[in-house]
Structure 1
Amino acid sequence: MLTIATATWGSAFIAGKFAVQSFEPSTVAFLRFLGAAVLLFPIMWMMEKKQIKPTLKDYGLFAVLGLTGIALYNIFFFLASKHAPVIKSSIFIASNPVLIVILSGIFLKETISRNNIIGMIIALTGVTFIITDGHLLSLLTLGFEPIDFVLIGAVISWALYSVVGKIVLKKFSAVVSTTYAVAFGTIMLLPFALMETTWQDVQHASFDAWVAIIHMSVFVTVISFVMYYNGIKEVGAAKASIFINVMPLSAVIMATLFLGEKLTWAHGVGAALVLSGVYIGTNTKKWFVSKKKTHHVAS
């Protein structure tokens, strides 16, 4: 479930290429989540007939989810896509699992196992291999620029979204959590969309742009977000975060198929490392298990 969800997120890179040809970044994000909200509320009402009534504090947590994972992350991500080198952007975003694991350990008291760390390092190495096309030393030539603060913002936003999401899921289902997060995020994105887009932009948008936005609304947002939240609930934020490394792998494969980009040997090596890292990091009973008996608190 987590593999399918994060692989689908990779298609957002392809769809985004078409969407930003007609709209500015914040507008693409707004239209994407507006469409998702329209779909999610009926789904929530059908699936959750006996809903828990959210308190003021709950709405506050939903607003935090909307701010971090929907509004801020997407603004940072699309800004970085427009102004930062692909290599640098990919490395920053691929580092998300590192911060999520750390924050999960600090705030949620989740156990950070040796396998989590080993799997994360292997998967992150694979991602780095893919985005540098095997030239790892090219990382040393990248300097620190103002746009890096935007990328750091993207990483922090998604990490907070994943960790706060785990807290919300103790009371609400994945569908309810996602629906309210998207609703709050869409409202927060509205002012930015109004500032940068005119009615003429909407009228002159290409057919491809609208298809891309619909794809991001239905598949990338509605279906995948719900699956990712269910994944967090099943295995925890730290383990689920390892699967984020599948996203750039998926993007590379789809870029090769749909955009005609060249698939290199480095992509193959990187793909193997990513999949190995995800497998090792999520199969703690089979890999690198200590022989000494230790006491664990049931989660």
Structure 2
Amino acid sequence: MSKSTSKLFIILTGVLGIVLFSAKAVMVKLAYNYNVSTVNLLLFRMIFSLPFYVLMAILYKPDRTVYIEKKNYLSLFFFGFIGYYLASFFDFLGLQYIKASLERIILFIYPTIVIVLSCLFLKKRIKKIQIVAIILTYVGVVLASWGDFSVQGNEFATGALLIFLSALTYASYLVGSDWLIPKFGVITFTSYAMIVSCCCVIIHYLIFERTQLLNYHQNVYFLGLGMAFLSTVIPSYLVSYAIKKIGAADFSILGSLGPISTIILANIFLGEEISLLQFLGTLVVILGIVIISKSKK
């Protein structure tokens, strides 16, 4: 395989991972057509994913020659709780109120939150170009969502707030877990964090839900399985492979395809219309994130 062909393969691998990740919101919206609750739908996604992550945790144990303090395991539990459980819960709940295409646009602002949190807690200075990019990004979100907010009002505001909380908790996970990943390794850390998240969802179900799980339409289970493997497990490794080969900064530019792919998928499978204002707002958000990615590089 030539160098140019190899690079094209890496890029296509990354793009496929991004598209599969983006399909999650569409599958959630499709599942809501069958009156499944948020907790149950999230439970199906986690239960179907859990055996795979347990297997990976067994196969990729931490290096025994490296001592890992108990407080690091407590930190891993905390970040697994907020990064995969809370973020997913807020995301799934928010999708009850807003369109899948807008969900992806709002979620896509998490790099701006990472910069702000890093400044507040890690004392990292925010560059002027990053301030401009952050402002640009939020202006784009307002543009993209203005039409829906003017029509739906409070319902849209509730959904947008929940999706923002999802972006905030995921950004907190990224900031806090940055120093833990070298201690555990990428695969081990991700597997452990996902196991923590799965257990939290199961506990949530047992305490607050306790509804019947076996009387939904068969499509709910197929969609749960699809979210688990097509939009969680498989893309996580495709994206990791692409990042390893071309670097996180360059990959983040590919990541800007996420909102676009969600808009297209939502239009095809959900019949969501794309307004000119939403499309322009999406482009502005993408521009802001690309500027942030370049400044971090």
TM-score under structure 2 length normalisation: 0.73
Partner SS state of residue 198, structure 1 = coil
2:65 matched to 1:41?
A: no
Which residue identity is paired with 1:262?
E
d(CA) in 2 for partners of 1:145, 1:269: 20
d(CA) in 2 for partners of 1:285, 1:58: 27
Bigger mean CA offset, 4-13 vs 63-72: 4-13
Superimposed CA distance per residue, residues 3-39 of structure 1 (whole angstroms, 9 cap, x where no aligned partner): 6655433211111123332531112212212222211
Bigger mean CA offset, 258-267 vs 243-252: 243-252
Q: Is the 8 A contact 2:31 2:223 kept in 1?
A: yes
d(CA) in 2 for partners of 1:125, 1:3: 26
Residue 115 to residue 157, structure 1, CA distance change in 2 (3 Å) = same
d(CA) in 2 for partners of 1:65, 1:213: 24
2:287 matched to 1:284?
A: no
Partner in structure 2 of residue 297 of structure 1: none
d(CA) in 2 for partners of 1:157, 1:273: 23
Partner in structure 1 of residue 8 of structure 2: none
2:226 matched to 1:215?
A: yes
* Larger helix share, 1 or 2: 2
Partner in structure 2 of residue 293 of structure 1: none
d(CA) in 1 for partners of 2:181, 2:276: 41
Post-superposition offset of 1:187: 1.0
2:130 matched to 1:130?
A: no
Which residue identity is paired with 1:182?
M
d(CA) in 1 for partners of 2:228, 2:185: 20
Which residue identity is paired with 1:59?
Y
Superimposed CA distance per residue, residues 20-68 of structure 1 (whole angstroms, 9 cap, x where no aligned partner): 3253111221221222221123234445685657542222122112210
Pick from 100, 123, 126 the counterpart of residue 112 of structure 1: 126
Q: Is the 8 A contact 2:105 2:285 kept in 1?
A: no
Superimposed CA distance per residue, residues 216-264 of structure 1 (whole angstroms, 9 cap, x where no aligned partner): 21232224445667859x658xx99898875444322210121222233
Which residue identity is paired with 1:264?
S
Which residue identity is paired with 2:70?
L
TM-score under structure 1 length normalisation: 0.73
d(CA) in 2 for partners of 1:143, 1:258: 23
Q: Is the 8 A contact 1:80 1:147 kept in 2?
A: yes
Which residue identity is paired with 2:228?
S
Which residue identity is paired with 1:277?
G
2:178 matched to 1:166?
A: yes
Structure 2: runs of 5+ lacking an equivalent: 1-10
Which residue identity is paired with 1:177?
F
d(CA) in 2 for partners of 1:285, 1:156: 19
Bigger mean CA offset, 16-25 vs 107-116: 107-116
2:274 matched to 1:263?
A: yes
2:34 matched to 1:25?
A: no
Partner in structure 1 of residue 215 of structure 2: 204
Q: Is the 8 A contact 2:20 2:230 kept in 1?
A: yes
d(CA) in 2 for partners of 1:63, 1:226: 22
d(CA) in 2 for partners of 1:43, 1:190: 20
